[in-house]
Amino acid sequence: MPTPSHAPVLLDRVVALLQPALAHEGAVMVDCTLGLGGHTEAVLERCGLARVIGIDRDPQALALASERLAPFGERFTAVHAVYDEIADVIAEQGLESVDAVLFDLGVSSMQLDLRERGFAYAEDAPLDMRMDRTTGPTAADILNTYSAAELTRVLRDYGEEKFARKIAAAIVRQREVEPFTTSGRLVELLYAEIPAPARRTGGHPAKRTFQALRMEVNDELAVLRRAIPAAIDAISVGGRVVVESYHSLEDRLVKRAFAEASRLDVPHDLPFVPEGAEPALRLVTRGAEQADQHEIEQNPRAASVRLRAIERVLPPNRPTRRRGVA
């Protein structure tokens, strides 16, 4: 059993949002962020008619999740891919559409717990942070090659770090003496550059910088920007897309995509909705749902979660009916 720190965030609520879409024979869900498979395990247990395609860019996570989910046999399929490739993954499985898509964004507990992955700042470790260690630049590469302006952008935009410019300048100075290779030296720099009053609030002073580097290493926002519309396009009538975000930029992107997909495209002052003009999707959650205090106490990662869901109510690309046309 996973420990509380490994428990999927808002698990019961997420499954409840998915269940209506998965209550029929042959229902298929895509778990775009499989991780250790906690959400998928709960779906397979509680939605007995459904099967799940689990996507993860991390081969190590795929192996562990596949072992955990082996008792479900052919009801679970693991796929090594980045989740903006969801359309290709669905097509490769011989499907035209699916009934549900789940995103649990951010970094998995397994990646945080394995020292050699370099995601955590609690102990000295190699500055890697790649979710797929078979490809792409590491966090050390970014620290040692980005200009001060580029580093400032990453820390400010992805980490919402108030002292981004000051930290970036210090990184550039220190790497001229010796390149960055491990997290311990970066954490020391952050303690030195972030003023003491700021260090006493908002959690660990390295939290924002490590989050920003992870998002840049894995190109997370660009991938999500492509993935959400692709997921919406992939669901059939009655299908749902459910997203858990942990960063304001992620949640803003999801909110905007959902709003656009469910927007009623008629003049605001029109007293009725013409037949054929109804939006093809509807928002299932009212705004973004958050965890209650009890869950946050049990699972601190839940403190920043924002949960949104959308449902397809009409077929995609439905032709508009005109008067006198059958």
Binding residues for S-adenosyl-L-methionine: 37-39, 56, 83, 104, 111
Distances (CA, A) of 259 to 21, 141, 238, 248, 262: 20, 37, 18, 16, 5
In the block, tokens 């009725």 appear at: 272
85 and 69 Cβ atoms separated by less than 8 Å: no
**Binding site, residues?**
37-39, 56, 83, 104, 111
Q: How far apart are CA 99 and CA 49, in angstroms?
A: 12
229 and 84 Cβ atoms separated by less than 8 Å: no
Handedness of CA 83, 87, 91, 93 (dihedral sign): positive
Hey, what's the torsion of the CAs at 261, 264, 267, 269, to 10 degrees?
Answer: -140
Q: Which residues contact 133 (CB under 8 A, 6 or more apart)?
A: 58, 59, 60, 117
Q: How far apart are CA 236 and CA 283, in angstroms?
A: 15
**DSSP per residue, 2-37:** --GGGSPTTHHHHHHHHGGGG-STT-EEEETT-TTS
Secondary structure class of 267 (helix, strand, coil): coil
Burial class (CB in 10 A: 0-12, 13-18, 19+), 101: buried
Per 3-state DSSP, what percentage of the chain is helix, strand, and coil (rounded to 5)? 50, 15, 40
| Element (DSSP H or E) covering residue 240 | strand 235-245
Interstrand relation of 235-245 and 98-104 (parallel, antiparallel or unpaired) = parallel
